[in-house]
């Protein structure tokens, strides 16, 4: 606070504090408290709300554990969100290293601009674009057949295949930027010293670069996993008849069944269980919560 006062003065400091408090209270805390309170109340007609049947209970949460298909969908959502996170890291790490340590500094802004251009388009339009590309008679199959790489079209939109492609494309930059920031802060002399001592490239990455980039990797992994597990547009547009995402069930409770109470309970279960899963994985990988803030 003292640093803010010294740098910006009293009026701007008060404005920043009030704006932050408004954001946290009105746009985050109060809506979550409203959903949390509703998740313990039964779904009743408007005329019966506040009556003798309107009591708090865990029945909405128990609905999830009494429905095996919903548990199965949740487990698959966690599994494929983890796969998306791993694949995003495999794609983002070499690119982040190239941008931070290999590419000339005068072309890095241009490369970042090219990477950011897709973000200027809304997520729903990008998902529709992938729907067109991955369709049975879409552009991808047309190119593969036209170039002679294959004779029959591939059904890309079966199972979770198309969802994985859409989620990786949508959230890979959320892995790239934290990893880039961590790698760029590494002193290049440490890499050169490892190479001068005869370390092969893979050991240099394993013993020098990856440990230094650990905070960025942890931050990017948490963001990609949570965003993937909570995504609704990509699974809705790119899902097949054999794949469902847990957020689709939440949407069905809230907008199709008009049962916001059970939908709220499912939403909080997703938040809580995903948080527990991330905390357990971080503990197994010996990643501290302080690493996420670096």
Q: Which residue from 119, 117, 142, 120 is spatially nearest to 132, judged by alpha carbons?
A: 142
User: Which pair of structure tokens corresponds to residue 29?
Assistant: 């805390």
User: Which pair of structure tokens corresponds to residue 282?
Assistant: 């971080």
- C-alpha 212/C-alpha 182 separation (Å) is 7
Beta-carbon count within 10 A of 87 CB: 17
Q: Which CATH class is domain 68-292?
A: mainly alpha
Backbone region of residue 198 per phi and psi (left: phi > 0; alpha: psi in -120 to 50; beta: other values): left
Task: Give, for all 294 residues of the chain, the pLDDT tens digit.
Answer: 666 667 767 777 788 888 888 888 888 888 888 888 888 888 877 777 777 877 888 888 999 999 899 999 999 999 999 999 999 999 999 999 999 888 888 888 888 888 888 888 888 888 888 888 888 888 888 888 888 777 888 888 888 888 999 999 989 999 999 999 989 988 888 888 888 888 888 888 888 888 888 888 888 888 899 999 988 888 888 887 778 899 999 988 888 888 888 999 999 898 888 888 888 877 776 777 666 555
- C-alpha 221/C-alpha 179 separation (Å) is 10
167, 231 contact by CB (below 8 A): yes
Write down the domain spans for the chain. Answer: 68-292
User: Which pair of structure tokens corresponds to residue 179?
Assistant: 């990893």
Q: Which residue from 126, 152, 127, 158 is spatially nearest to 137, judged by alpha carbons?
A: 152
Q: Which residue from 223, 276, 269, 278 is spatially nearest to 246, judged by alpha carbons?
A: 269
Query: What angle in degrees, to the nearest 10, is found between the helix axes of 161-184 and 68-97?
Result: 40
pLDDT tens readout for residues 50-105: 778 778 888 889 999 998 999 999 999 999 999 999 999 999 999 999 998 888 88
229, 277 contact by CB (below 8 A): no
Q: Which residue from 182, 205, 206 is spatially nearest to 291, judged by alpha carbons?
A: 182
2, 234 contact by CB (below 8 A): no
């Amino acid at each position: 606070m003292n640093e803010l006062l010294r740098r910006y003065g009293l009026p701007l400091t008060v404005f920043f504090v009030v704006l932050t408090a408004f954001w946290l209270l009105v746009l985050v805390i109060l809506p979550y408290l409203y959903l949390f309170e509703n998740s313990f109340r039964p779904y009743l007609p408007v005329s019966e709300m506040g009556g003798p049947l309107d009591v708090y209970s865990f029945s909405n949460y128990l609905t999830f554990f009494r429905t095996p298909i919903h548990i199965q969908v949740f487990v698959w959502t966690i599994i494929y969100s983890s796969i998306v996170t791993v694949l995003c890291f495999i794609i983002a790490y070499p690119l982040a290293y190239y941008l931070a340590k290999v590419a000339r500094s005068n072309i890095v802004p241009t490369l970042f601009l090219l990477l950011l251009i897709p973000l200027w388009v809304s997520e729903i339009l990008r998902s529709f674009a992938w729907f067109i590309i991955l369709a049975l008679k879409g552009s991808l199959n047309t190119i593969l057949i036209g170039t002679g790489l294959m004779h029959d079209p591939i059904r890309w939109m079966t199972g979770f295949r198309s969802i994985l492609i859409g989620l990786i494309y949508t959230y890979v930059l959320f892995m790239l930027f934290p990893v880039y920031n961590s790698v760029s802060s590494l002193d290049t002399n440490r890499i050169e010293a490892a190479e001068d001592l005869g370390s092969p490239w893979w050991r240099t990455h394993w013993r020098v670069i990856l440990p230094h980039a650990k905070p960025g990797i942890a931050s990017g992994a948490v963001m990609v996993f949570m965003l993937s597990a909570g995504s609704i547009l990509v699974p809705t547009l790119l899902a097949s008849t054999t794949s469902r995402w847990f957020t689709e069930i939440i949407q069905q409770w809230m907008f199709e069944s008009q049962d916001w109470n059970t939908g709220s309970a499912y939403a909080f279960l997703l938040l809580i269980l995903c948080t527990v899963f991330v905390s357990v994985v971080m503990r197994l990988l010996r990643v501290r919560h302080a690493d996420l803030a670096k």
